[in-house]
Amino acid sequence: MCLNRGYRFWLNAAFKVLIVAALLYILYREIGGQERLADLWQQLCYRLGESSKWWLLPAVLLMPVNWWLESWKWQRLLKPFWPVKPWRAFKAVASGITLSLFTPNRVGDYGGRILAVPARHNWHAVIATMAGNVAQLLALLSGGLLGALYYLEVQGGLPRLLISSFWWVLFAGIAVTYLFYFNLHWLALLLRTLPVPRKWLRPVLMIRRFNRLQLAEALLLAFARYSVYCLQYYLMARFFGISAPLFGALSGIATIFLFQATVPLPPVAALLARGEAALLVWAPFSDNELSILGATFGLFILNLALPALLGVMFIVKINVLKSLGYDANAPENQRNGVPGPLPDRNVEPSSE
């Protein structure tokens, strides 16, 4: 699809204005619309004057580590298709955070990342993002289920026999999930049996390019990021004066994240649901609702709101239509973002 220069300029401008306006509206609604915002701000100022303020500093310092790990994971998964540079990978991740604030289950993450790559690599970015999200989901489910069982046994008072039965079911479920994760080519083999044109399946069949070593590396980075996120939450809880045993607190945090992952809501809507879940999970350790909500709200600011503001700055500088392939000077296959013929899976892909 070819558009003249004037149309491209105005469409680009309209898209960027829409994104900026939507982000500012969402953040205003979630931050400025908090009924207890004044109380939360007062609590924050009070805690900054207490000795607990030293719990906040490492939580803030872990914020770039969190998204650096995500950028590294995506960069490694995109390497078989296109060797993206670290800074560009970070800009893609930040752009994805911005768009994900508006969509259920962070679907906008895909859209944000394809904006940061050339049009001919759009599908490659989608496949790398999908594999990375699956790895992150595996880390979240593994840690979340284990943490939830520990929490329910210690804090919920469930019988040990019942918990033991859950352990076996959990082990079997996780084992099957990991088996499929490390054999993604099974999905490609299954799809090839479907009576549909090959060109329709070509983007999905690109998962054959991932080997088990790459998938293992992505999974390791996913677990590292999950650990950082849990540690940040624990530090924020201690900053707001919630005292809890380390394992009890981490198991409760894992339970909250597990609940969040199973509810298909955009992060801004999940903030309210996560706050309600936090009040329930932290109840055995603290009856200070303001501190519990402050820790949850603070984590949202650190790991989503601030990176989203950074991401929108990157999006403003992107030629959106060109990134999506609507460039009159690009070849037809690059303009449409259609991948070329798939190489044999036994042939090493060449670097560009």
pLDDT tens sequence across 156-172: 655 565 556 667 777 78
Total-model pTM: 0.83
Neighbour-count burial for 300-327, b at 16+ CB within 10 Å, e otherwise? bebbbbbbbeebbebbeebebbbbbbbb
| Confidence band for 188, pLDDT divided at 50, 70 and 90 | confident
Cα 76 → chain centroid: 16
Question: Nearest 5°: phi and psi at 286?
Answer: -155, 145
Which tens digits make up the pLDDT trace of 99-130? 888 776 678 889 889 988 888 899 999 999 99
Of the two residues 39 and 314, the one the predictor is more confident about is 314
Predicted local distance difference test score (pLDDT) of residue 349: 38
DSSP string, 33-86: T-TTHHHHHHHHHHHHTSGGGGGHHHHHHHHHHHHHHHHHHHHHHHTTT----H
Tokens of 152: 């329910």
Extents of the domains making up the chain = 5-334
What mean pLDDT comes out for the span 41-54? 80
Q: Is the pLDDT of residue 320 over 50?
A: yes
Of the two residues 21 and 231, the one the predictor is more confident about is 231
**Which helix or strand (DSSP H or E) is residue 333 part of?**
helix 332-335
Q: Are 88 and 116 in contact (CB under 8 A)?
A: yes
Sign of CA dihedral 150, 154, 156, 160: positive
Q: Give which of 235, 232, 229, 233 is closest to 47, Cα–Cα.
A: 235
Q: Give which of 311, 319, 297, 339 is closest to 127, Cα–Cα.
A: 339
- Percent share of the chain, pLDDT over 90: 29
CA-CA distance, 120 to 4, in Å (whole number)?
21
